[in-house]
Structure 1
């Protein structure tokens, strides 16, 4: 599997990278985000997938306590934070979102890997220092590999 490495030096650069990705996404696409607490997963989602990316006009914030937040835009955005359901066998209707009419973003996706679709884009964000982020795109499937090539 090919991986695509990006480095961003400001929060705005992280948001721009996410925005460029969002423009290439289609209904039914699933993107997972992994990384330590506070590394920028929600910033990535806010910056690009809301606003210009998918046309969401509402403020995007972390769905930590609600698990899923739905935002209507040009393409619906389903934003999941599954951190609180670690070690749970409960399926909260993931397939309905993954096969729905929107783009699904899943933070802490490793906690629900048995429910994830085979084709998706896995993204890992790590902190190099206070501002610099290493962002690795790991496409699963040729469709997402083509998206990554376009961004790279």
Structure 2
């Protein structure tokens, strides 16, 4: 039996989109001892993401990390289904285009288990639009980070019309 993830038992993060924001999330999550699975359709994204994590790592070490923090906990997947299948939390970081984000969120929702929060790094789109094609709209919200993501532990959280209170909390 698989339990519904809660803030205290999230250990596996999936990132959809590996640009500047996705790379920052990867570094932050790895530095906090989490397993991180990433996907991005850009052929060069894996090497760029790993370089960004490597660049952030010395400062993260200086700040302090738990003993289980490791860059070796990063896995790059070839598609959304593989990246999100075992995730406790999904953070989407694709380009800021409503149609693209809506389609990506719909796909993510087909491959995650119930209760997994699916957050978007969107800075200007409505969460109700992004969640509109999802099979579990109650799981979707905006989780817009402050930059640089790997250093600032601040996230703006905004629910949509169908977002559950449990997802927001």
Q: TM-score over 0.5 for the alignment?
A: no
More helix by proportion, 1 or 2? 2
TM bracket (short chain): 0.3 to 0.5
Structure number with bigger Rg: 2
More strand by proportion, 1 or 2? 1
After TM superposition, the score normalised by the length of structure 2 is 0.37
After TM superposition, the score normalised by the length of structure 1 is 0.40
